[in-house]
Amino acid sequence: MPLTDKEKRKEYERNYRLRNLEKVRAWGRNWLRKHRADPMFREKEKATKKKYRENFWIRYHSNPEFREKVRIKNNRKHLRYITETDYFHNKYAQWREEALTILGGRCQYCGFDNPMALQIHHVNGDGAKERRESSKYKQYRLMLQRIREGSENYKIACANCNIIMARTGTLVPFIRG
Ligand SMILES: [Zn+2]
């Protein structure tokens, strides 16, 4: 349906996008896949981006209205960042508490029980590998999931026992008695 009114047309297109979100996204993905393979397209894309960056700073320094707009947008981004970080800090604290409770709440080697200095020890010694393979919070989430499922790979060690095991490469920090 041909809409000559610019605003109406915009609205119609917006509604169409909202109604067929998946379809429109698939079109976009296909278009990009087709064009990304073409080296000419990549060159052109690079040039466009460069031009945009140059224009951005010219506009930023010469146009106070634009500068204000950018400032507000960045501020909003910053706020969102702070809220997200807060959210994950809280989540992490919850996950940690649950993991410590399931694993017994005290160091499995010496019995120390102040939660502030308790850490989760990887019995198989694959803590570094686990860290490399996922982001910080994803790793914690997966770890808790495995602990809930009753994985044998995790034990609580206090900071002292954990560092001694790491330094000496043994699985028992010291022999008591
Ligand atoms: Zn200990």
115 Cα: distance to centroid of ligand 1 (angstroms): 11
147 C-alpha vs ligand 1 centroid, how far in Å?
Answer: 20
pLDDT at 126: 83
Per-residue model confidence (pLDDT) at position 173 = 58
Distance 102 CA to ligand 1 centre (A): 17
Which helix (H) or strand (E) is 172 found in, with range? none
Backbone angles phi, psi at 63, to 5 degrees: -120, 105
The amino acid at residue 139 is: Q
- Model pLDDT for residues 99-138, shown as the tens digit of each residue: 999 999 999 989 999 999 999 999 888 888 888 888 878 8
pLDDT at position 177, please? 41
Q: What is the pTM assigned to this prediction?
A: 0.55
Q: For the chain, what percent of residues have pLDDT higher than 90? A: 44
User: In order along the chain (177 residues), what is the average pLDDT of each group of 10 residues?
Assistant: 79 90 91 86 90 93 94 91 88 92 92 92 86 84 92 92 83 54
Q: How far is CA 73 from the centre of its chain?
A: 21
60's CB contacts (< 8 A; 6+ apart) are 66, 67, 70
pLDDT at 130: 86
User: Distance from the CA of 51 to the center of ligand 1, in angstroms?
Assistant: 59
For residue 111, is it left (φ>0), alpha (ψ between -120 and 50) or beta?
left
Torsion sign (Cα): 114, 159, 97, 107: negative
What is the model's pLDDT at position 47? 94
Contact 156, 100 (CB under 8 A): yes
> Which residue bears the tokens 């043994």?
170
Q: Which residue has the tokens 């909202």?
A: 18
Which one-letter DSSP state was computed for residue 124?
T
- 156 touches 108 (CB < 8 A): yes
